[in-house]
Structure 1
């Protein structure tokens, strides 16, 4: 896989790629990753919304909603744009998309990383909280989310300035062009942006999660293993996100650090780094849903609700009376066999205590005649007495 022309710093995906395989395989791979990731992030959002509806929401859950929303935006807006660029080999999406494609993608990456760092700090504070109830403050969570988005959107703004359309004959390309007057600024910006929005937040988050796992205090009415689940899950998400975006940021720094055309990163590295970046957003839901038991329980509950709703609205199940009658008959037969076996044996409750033989008590009540003066339940005869009275 080679380039037909000299590699400039392309924006919005690599263009001018030679070979028919790149126009088919890469869009299919990106489309598959996007589809799987979109479905996974929608499931995570449904589970988190269900947690808030059941009164189990927290600030960490609110930040997880922000993270899943960011992953969803990456897979909905950025990955399809790259797939179209790989398929067409040139830029066909217009001036506005060229200006904002790199800015939006790096902003979403920055928001996700900053969200993970903020969540790690919150989990660390929660682990050191002495009481059993950690206060949930929606206003503080909203301020945190808004601040994260403002910082994430502002820092990569120079990408909007340096991205532009370039014509080569009858071809239109979207490139990242640097003017000589801004070379010093770009040298600083190309190093500070990855450190600010990726390296430092990821390292901070990993350190906070490790400290949280080590210094977690046992709480009453809470399983210690359950306390570790959330921290381990978030640590895994942070590690996967940091490692899978490392090639993307490394190639981005490489392309802007060296002005010599012969020292540009190879196209294969750029493509692999972009696929890994989108794969990170697709794998995050799998880590979240598989490592936390309350999320698995919520997912099972939502699945049961959806299944019961489908059965309720299924006309075949409603109109097939013979199948329903057979099911009810079998259930009654099983219930009768269980009742007969329980009469002969002792009744034991869930705590292992033996219950009194109520069947024997009511049998004696039916077969025993009690005098009226000694009847402990005289109101049982009121209906019979009133029925025997007749008007004269």
Structure 2
């Protein structure tokens, strides 16, 4: 730390780690989380696009799409920067990336928090007055998204101001450094930023969520709708709780670094890395929660998979041409023959079972041998002399 600076912290990941294992394990862990999370968020966006093509727009679906898009940005822009930094152990991305890496991540985290707040507010408005808020209002949704992104991009601007490159021997370091004359302003900023994009959105989202639950009225006429409302409430409560728990280490260590008075009071590097990994785990867990707990999304995903499977089969039939048609025709002929034989066999079996007496009659008529004991006129062969009168 320089003499004229009040604090110094690494941006974009810690660039002076000890141990060779960290340069392999950490990039592998972050890369795995990013790959899984990117795939999940892309799948959620595809399902939401499929829902919108079926004319089922709603403000809550737009907010879920914005949430997935924000997680996709975090995993595709911020996570690779950390993985590369831990692998190289130096900063290799230039001054522009150094000054914007923390700003982009904090802006995306703010968008996530405000999007959850807007989604819960939309659900509360719909539950309190369904007739007025049942229609999709594109202008209202567009204004809400513009406000969310504007506020989220403005709040972390001091991250750009205090980030800079420093040379330490043969390596470059990307750090966030506050001069002594701005110490008071930076301490105030370190309190305002977590409150504005972490604490207050979670408190307000929870309050909206609790009000929405109390507005759900049991109905004997439409039990399915009530069950869906409770499932949706559980979904948003799970996302809020997961987001709050996963973001807590990152913001706790961020405040700790800026308020520690001495170098020995700084948080350990392992805890800082743990907080960063939790941020990316949050973005990877969110699509899993949406696709498993949100019933309309789950049903739309099943319908989309069935539609893609049918189109793939149709494309293969067209591509193979006459050969495939011949194979299909043979298969249909074989199935028709098998079906016909089965019908004949069942018919013959039924005939045999319905006329058992006729079968016995004809089998008896084929036997031409007359048994002695069954002669109907036995007295004609008796000896007249032995007959007693």
Instruction: Give me the TM-score of the superposition, normalised by structure 2.
Output: 0.81
What are the Cα deviations for residues 44-71 of structure 1, in whole angstroms up to 9, with x where unaligned? 1111111111111101111111111100
Do the aligned partners of 1:38 and 1:282 also contact (CA within 8 Å) in 2? yes
Do the aligned partners of 1:117 and 1:202 also contact (CA within 8 Å) in 2? yes
**Superposed counterparts of 1:1-392, under 5 Å:** 8-131=8-131, 134-217=134-217, 223-314=225-316, 315=319, 319-321=323-325, 323-329=327-333, 332=336
Structure 2's unaligned 5+ residue stretches are 1-6, 345-389
Q: What is the CA-CA distance between 1:191 and the residue it aligns to?
A: 1.1
What are the Cα deviations for residues 96-128 of structure 1, in whole angstroms up to 9, with x where unaligned? 000000010000000100110111111111111
Q: Which residue of the partner structure matches residue 353 of structure 1? A: none
Q: What is the CA-CA distance between 1:321 and the residue it aligns to?
A: 4.7
Q: Which residue of the partner structure matches residue 387 of structure 1? A: none
TM-aligned CA distance change 1:196 to 1:133, over 3 Å: closer
Q: Which residue of the partner structure matches residue 366 of structure 1? A: none
Q: What is the CA-CA distance between 1:317 and the residue it aligns to?
A: 8.8
Structure 1's unaligned 5+ residue stretches are 1-6, 341-392
Inter-partner Cα distance in structure 1 for 2:54 and 2:34: 30
Inter-partner Cα distance in structure 1 for 2:88 and 2:152: 30
What are the Cα deviations for residues 366-389 of structure 1, in whole angstroms up to 9, with x where unaligned? xxxxxxxxxxxxxxxxxxxxxxxx
Do the aligned partners of 2:8 and 2:178 also contact (CA within 8 Å) in 1? no
Do the aligned partners of 2:103 and 2:159 also contact (CA within 8 Å) in 1? yes
Instruction: Give me the TM-score of the superposition, normalised by structure 1.
Output: 0.80
Q: What is the CA-CA distance between 1:264 and the residue it aligns to?
A: 0.8
TM-aligned CA distance change 1:133 to 1:161, over 3 Å: closer
Q: How many residues align?
A: 335
Q: What is the CA-CA distance between 1:338 and the residue it aligns to?
A: 11
- Higher-Rg structure is 2
Inter-partner Cα distance in structure 2 for 1:285 and 1:54: 21
Do the aligned partners of 2:202 and 2:244 also contact (CA within 8 Å) in 1? yes
Inter-partner Cα distance in structure 2 for 1:94 and 1:247: 28
TM-aligned CA distance change 1:316 to 1:103, over 3 Å: same
Q: What is the CA-CA distance between 1:313 and the residue it aligns to?
A: 2.2
Q: What is the CA-CA distance between 1:301 and the residue it aligns to?
A: 1.4
Do the aligned partners of 1:107 and 1:153 also contact (CA within 8 Å) in 2? yes
Structure 1 or 2: larger helix share? Answer: 2
